[in-house]
């Protein structure tokens, strides 16, 4: 009887020990965290290469009977036409003017907001015949006006000053996949001074700047 009692106590002790051991293992916990992780998506410029002049859109319209258009100009590159160059017109006298127009197309997925129209410098004039001296050249050149337009925005220049346009209210824009005309007009107003020979008016670089931010 005494021997059996010792066996029972021994078995109970072993069970208690195992249970205690099991409870001990179950009380440990490992926690792994990932904190402050981030991923940056790098933006590729799909805007600038897709705002360009539309090929075949150049036109010049004469508003004086004696005005001639030597060239409407050309666009610099079929795939990315950002420069309009070499337009050439002749103003035969007071009352003549020419307006040249091109279409800007926005093939991007963003609205293109016009932010500025910039004329690089005032107009300059020189005799067509090299080294010639013309009477009234300074006065005649001072009478000629340049106006640049897109939508409701405009910039102007003459031989003495430039008035550029800055647009901060988003009022002039080209919708995604849309288009809009830009133009410049060179005018020799009626009643202007005249010279005793032909002279050339140099039109400075004209820049239209667009952004995706209104």
pLDDT value at 129 more than 50: yes
Q: HSE, CB side, 13 Å, CA atoms: give it for residue 97.
A: 17
**Reduced to 3 states, what is the DSSP secondary structure of residue 53?**
strand
Give the pLDDT confidence of 59-91 residue by residue, as tens digits: 998 887 777 888 899 988 777 789 999 888 888
What is the Cα–Cα distance from 126 to 33, expressed in whole angstroms?
76
Q: Are 195 and 136 in contact (CB under 8 A)?
A: yes
Q: Is residue 36 part of a domain?
A: no
Report residue 207 CA to chain centroid gap.
10
Of the two residues 126 and 68, the one the predictor is more confident about is 126
Q: Are 178 and 107 in contact (CB under 8 A)?
A: no
pTM (two decimals)? 0.81
Q: Is residue 177 part of a domain?
A: yes
Q: Is residue 24 part of a domain?
A: no
Domain that holds residue 107: 49-211
Average pLDDT of every residue of the chain: 88
Q: Is residue 146 part of a domain?
A: yes
Mean pLDDT of 126-131: 90
Q: Are 208 and 150 in contact (CB under 8 A)?
A: yes
Mean pLDDT of 187-214: 94
Q: Is residue 21 part of a domain?
A: no
Q: Where are the beta strands (DSSP E) in 67-198?
A: 68-71, 74-75, 84-85, 88-90, 96-106, 112-119, 124-127, 145-150, 153-157, 162-163, 165-166, 173-174, 178-188
Which range has the worst mean pLDDT, 35-49, 63-77, 127-141, 143-157? 63-77
Q: HSE, CB side, 13 Å, CA atoms: give it for residue 124.
A: 6
Q: Is residue 20 part of a domain?
A: no
Q: Are 197 and 132 in contact (CB under 8 A)?
A: yes
Which range has the worst mean pLDDT, 59-63, 159-163, 205-209? 59-63
143 band by pLDDT with thresholds 50, 70 and 90: very high
Structural domain count, the chain: 1
Q: Is residue 2 part of a domain?
A: no
Q: Is residue 175 part of a domain?
A: yes
208 band by pLDDT with thresholds 50, 70 and 90: very high
- Residue 64 has a pLDDT of 76
Q: Are 121 and 203 in contact (CB under 8 A)?
A: no
Give the pLDDT confidence of 179-191 residue by residue, as tens digits: 999 999 999 999 9
**Reduced to 3 states, what is the DSSP secondary structure of residue 174?**
strand
58 band by pLDDT with thresholds 50, 70 and 90: very high
């Amino acid at each position: 009887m005494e021997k059996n009692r010792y066996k029972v106590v021994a078995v109970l002790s072993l069970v208690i020990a195992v249970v205690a051991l099991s409870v001990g293992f179950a009380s440990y916990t490992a926690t792994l965290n990932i904190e402050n992780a981030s991923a940056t998506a790098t933006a590729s410029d799909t805007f600038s290469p897709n705002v360009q002049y539309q090929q075949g859109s150049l036109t010049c319209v004469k508003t004086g009977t004696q005005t001639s258009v030597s060239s409407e100009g050309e666009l610099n590159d079929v795939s990315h036409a950002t420069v309009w160059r070499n337009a050439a017109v002749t103003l035969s006298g007071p009352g003549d003017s020419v307006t040249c127009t091109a279409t800007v197309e926005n093939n991007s997925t963003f609205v293109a907001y016009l932010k500025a129209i910039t004329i690089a410098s005032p107009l300059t004039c020189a005799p067509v015949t090299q080294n010639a001296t013309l009477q009234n050249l300074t006065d005649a050149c001072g009478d000629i006006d340049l106006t640049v337009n897109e939508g409701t925005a405009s910039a102007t220049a003459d031989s003495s000053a430039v008035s550029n346009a800055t647009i901060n209210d988003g009022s002039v824009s080209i919708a995604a996949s849309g288009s809009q005309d830009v133009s410049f007009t060179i005018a020799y107003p009626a009643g202007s001074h005249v010279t005793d020979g032909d002279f050339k008016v140099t039109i400075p670089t004209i820049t239209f700047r667009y952004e995706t931010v209104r």
